[in-house]
Chains A and B, each alone.
Chain A
Amino acid sequence: MQMHDLPDARGHFGPYGGVFVAETLMAALDELRREYEAAREDPDFQAEFHHELRHYVGRPSPIYHARRWSEKLGGAQIYLKREDLNHTGAHKINNTIGQALLARRMGKKRVIAETGAGQHGVASATVAARYGMECVVYMGAEDIKRQSPNVYRMKLLGATVVGVESGSKTLKDALNEAMRDWVTNVESTFYILGTAAGPHPYPMLVRDFQCVIGEECKAQMNEMLGRQPDAVIACVGGGSNAIGIFHPYIPVEGVRLIGVEAGGEGVATGRHAAPLSAGTPGVLHGFRSYLMQDANGQIIETHSVSAGLDYPGVGPEHSWLKDSGRAEYVAINDDEALRAFHDLCRFEGIIPALESSHALAHAAKIAPTLDKDRILLVNLSGRGDKDINTVARLSGIEL
C-alpha cells in the first residue's frame, strides 16, 4: 500500500487511527463510513461539493508571493496559500461544506460541532444556515471568553452555542461534550467533526475534503512558477489544514513537509500543545495517536496563545507521517508566533490568524538560512480578525 493510499479499511495509518469509541457509536460510524464511501465515488456529490466550494466559499483561493516580507528576511521566497480569503475566513469551511452535504444525503436535520477558536463553529453554523439545519456548537467556557466575536457570529447564524465547564474548559472538553450529545441523539444527529482526527472515517473524510488546498497549490505553483515549492509549511493543532495541503504532496519528491505545533511558553517548560514534538502515543477521542499525557495516561492540559491549536492530540495521519519520516514536525512558541503575526500585518497588509502565525514564524525562522531562489509555501489557514482582542491584550491595550 502506498503511503498516500492510507488509511486501511478500518481506518489505520500504521499503528495510528482506528475506531476507539463506546459501542453505542459503532453503528453510526459504520453508517457514516458506508455513506462516505458511496459519496466519494458519486460524481453528483463531488460535482455539488466543488460547485459549493467555487460559488459559496470563493475557491480557488489565490497563492500570494509575500515579496516585501521575504526581502526583509533575506533568504528564501515565501508564498502564502490564502485560505484566509475563504468565506468565513479560514480553511474550516471546506470540510463543513463536505460534511453538511453528507448529513443532507443521510437525511439528518440536526448537526453538532465542537470548536476551539470558534472558526469551525462559525463554519458549521454557516453551512447549517445555508442548508437549513439545526446547529448546536459545543465550546469550552475558557475559549468562549477568548473568542467572543466568533461566539456572537455563531449566534447570528442561528446556532446554539453551549459552554462546556468540565475539565480544562477548552477544545478537548468541547469534543467530549459533542461526543456525549452524539451518543444520546445518534439517530437524528450528524456530528460535524472539525479536524482530521476522531474515530474512522473522520480523519479520512476531513482530509479528503481539505485536500482541495493542496491540489490547488500543485496546479497554481506549476502555473505561476513552473515548479513546486522546496517546502510546504502548515500549523498543526488537530491538523486539518496541514493534512489538506500535505497530502497531495506526499508522493511529490523533493518537497519537504513541515508541520508546526504550538510550543506555548516553550516545549521545555511543559506548557505547550505539541504532542508530536513532546508527546507519546495513546488513545483519546476515538483514535490512537501522539498525545500529551502523564505517566498515568491522563491527558495533560495544553497551553497556547492560539485557541485553535490548544489540543492535546493530533490527527493520526500526522503521527504516521512523523514516524515514517515523510513529514517533519517542529514547535513555535507564543512569542515567536506573535512576532510573525505583527510582521505579516506590517510588511504585507495581511492580518493572519494566530494559528497560521505559527507556520509563518517557522518560515521566517528558516527562510534566512536558505538561498533566495528557494521557495517556501505557507498555508495561511485563516485570517486574524478574531484574534485582535487577544493580541491587543498581550500588547497591554484595551479595545
Chain B
Amino acid sequence: MSRIAATFAALKAAHRKALIPFITAGDPVPGQTVPLMHALVAGGADIIELGVPFSDPMADGPTIQRASERALKHGVGLRDVLAMTAEFRKTNTATPVVLMGYANPIEAMGWEAFCAAAREAGVDGVLTVDYPPEEAADFAAQCAAAGLDNIYLLAPTTPPARLAAITRQARGFVYYVSLKGVTGAANLDLAEVAERVGMIRAESGLPVGVGFGIRDAETARQVAAVADAVVIGSRIVQEIEQSTDAARLDNVRLFLAGVRAALDA
C-alpha cells in the first residue's frame, strides 16, 4: 500500500479527516524548508504538499506567486526540491509528500529522470496543475510505474461526464478545487462543494481532498464535514511571509494546530 493510501486508511479507521498544508519549497530561504515540513507535521499535518517554484505560476494568486519569487531568488529548482524531500525522509518515513507545481520544470528534467529521482527522494504523489489527463496519459503511466500517485484536479466547471472519467483514472486522492479562481481567493460555496464531493464519491472509492480558498479553522471544519481531506495553502504561506525568522516555525505549527483542533473537535 502506498504511503498516501496507508495514511487515509489509518485516518478512516480513527474517524479523522486529513489535514494537508501546502508550502513552497525554498520559501523564504532553502534552509528553512525541511524544518518547516517538520513543523507542519508537529502541527498536525497528515500529508504535505510541497510547491515546486515556477517563474510563471498561472493558477496561483498573489500570495503563492510571491512565495515562488522568493524561492526563485535563491535559485531553487526541481532538483533542490527533491533533495529537500530526501532530507525530510531521513527523519520522517510516515508522512506522505506530494509535489505540486507546473509542467515545465518536469518537462525540462524529463519524465523518466523525474519519476526515478522523485521515487528515490521519497516523493509519494505528483500534482501538476497544467497537465490535464488528456495531455498526461504517458506521464501518468510513468508515474504509476515508479510508484508515484498522479493526482488530478477537478473544478466546479468540470462537466459531470468528464468528472466521472477523471475520477476513474485518479490515484492517491482526488483534489477538488473548491472555487473558480486562483489559489487564495475567497468565494467558497460550501453547498456546491458538498454536492460535487458527492458526485466524485459516486465514481470512486478514493478519498476526496478539497482546497483553494480555505483560510481559517472554521471553514476547514465545515469543508471537512463533507470531504476526506482539507488542503490549506495561501493562508500558511501568508504566515511564513509575515513571520520573523525566529518565530516562523512556531507560528506555522501553532496555526496548523488550531486547524487540527477544529477538525478533530
Contacts and interface: CB of A to CB of B under 8 A. Distances in A.
Interface string A5-41: 0000010000000111111111110000000000000
Contacts, number: 124
A299 B54 CA distance: 8
Q: Which bracket fits the contact residues of A?
A: 35 or more
A291 B56 CA distance: 13
Contacts of B57: 176
B158 A23 contact: yes
Interface string A38-54: 00000000000000000
A21 B105 CA distance: 15
Nearest to A178: B58
Contacts of B154: 23
A282 B182 contact: no
Nearest to B181: A184
A285 B153 CA distance: 18
Q: Which residue of A21, A24, A166, A299 has the most chain B CB atoms within 10 A of its CB atom?
A: A24
Interface string B62-84: 10010001001001011100000
B167 to A, nearest CB: 12
A27 B154 CA distance: 11
Contacts of A295: 77, 108
A172 interface: yes
Contacts of B105: 296-298
B177 A24 contact: yes
A66 interface: no
Interface string A200-228: 00000000000000000000000000000
Contact of B108 (A20, A22, A282): A282
A298 B58 contact: no
Interface in A311-330: none
Given A20-B132, A21-B130, A285-B56, A293 B108 contact: yes
Contacts of B132: 19-21, 23, 26
A297 B157 contact: no
A351 B79 CA distance: 49
A193 to B, nearest CB: 13
B62 to A, nearest CB: 8
Contacts of B102: 283
Contact of A184 (B65, B159, B185): B185
A296 B155 contact: no
A252 B134 CA distance: 34
B104 interface: yes
Contacts of A291: 104
Contacts of A297: 54, 77-78, 104-109
A63 interface: no
Contacts of B79: 296
A184 B109 CA distance: 31
B177 A10 contact: no
Q: Which residue of A184, A282, A288, A298 has the most chain B CB atoms within 10 A of its CB atom?
A: A298
Nearest to B101: A297
Nearest to B60: A180
Contact of B182 (A21, A180, A283, A288): A180
Given A23-B155, A297-B108, A166 B65 contact: yes
A27 B158 contact: yes
11 contacts: A20-B132, A21-B132, A23-B153, A24-B180, A26-B155, A26-B162, A173-B56, A288-B107, A295-B77, A297-B77, A297-B108
Interface of A: 10, 18-28, 166-167, 172-173, 176, 179-180, 183-187, 280-286, 288, 291, 293, 295-299
Interface of B: 53-59, 61-62, 65, 69, 72, 75, 77-79, 102-109, 129-132, 134-135, 152-159, 162, 177, 180-182, 185
Given A297-B105, A299-B104, 15 more contacts: A20-B135, A22-B129, A22-B155, A27-B157, A27-B158, A166-B69, A184-B182, A187-B180, A281-B107, A282-B104, A283-B103, A283-B107, A284-B56, A297-B104, A298-B105
